[in-house]
């Protein structure tokens, strides 16, 4: 599903949340012993997009930065859980490679967004 705008991070995080939800559904039926990890990854994996979405209507640049920083932390946590699922054999190498690449792309984009926003806020503070 697209956000209707040309906003790559919104689109990527929406698609990622959908993939995480489908993965959760598939693995929860297949791997009963991974339920706790699956609950964690569905929370963090869908939270990335929720925070990015909230950031689109932030009240200020500082609020936007807060939402993007939380999204980045959630994406990093999701990466952790994906690695654990792979290590425990819940994901095949092909499945893992596909979804971890999406996660890494999101982390890279969010890292750039947060750095740029911090720099812009710092520069605005100097101008005042």
pTM for the full model? 0.90
Per-residue model confidence as pLDDT tens digits over 57-75: 999 999 999 999 999 999 9
Please check whether residue 81 is in contact with residue 40, taking contact to mean a CB–CB distance below 8 angstroms: yes
Count of H-run helices and E-run strands, the chain: 4, 0
Per-residue model confidence as pLDDT tens digits over 20-57: 999 999 999 887 777 889 999 999 999 999 999 999 99
pLDDT at 5: 54
**Is pLDDT at 107 greater than 70 in this prediction?**
yes
pLDDT at 30: 83
pLDDT band at residue 1 under the 50/70/90 scheme: very low
Q: Within 10 A of 62 (CB to CB), how many other CB atoms are there?
A: 11
């Amino acid at each position: 599903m697209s956000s209707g705008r040309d906003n790559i991070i919104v689109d990527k995080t929406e698609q990622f949340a959908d993939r995480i939800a489908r993965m959760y559904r598939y693995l929860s039926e297949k791997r009963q012993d991974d339920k706790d990890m699956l609950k964690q990854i569905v929370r963090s994996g869908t939270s990335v997009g929720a925070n990015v979405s909230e950031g689109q209507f932030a009240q200020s640049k500082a609020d936007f930065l807060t939402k993007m920083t939380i999204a980045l932390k959630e994406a990093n946590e999701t990466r952790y859980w994906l690695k654990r699922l792979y290590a425990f054999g819940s994901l095949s190498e092909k499945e893992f490679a596909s979804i971890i690449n999406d996660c890494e792309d999101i982390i890279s984009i969010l890292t750039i967004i947060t750095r740029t926003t911090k720099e812009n806020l710092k520069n605005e503070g100097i101008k005042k």
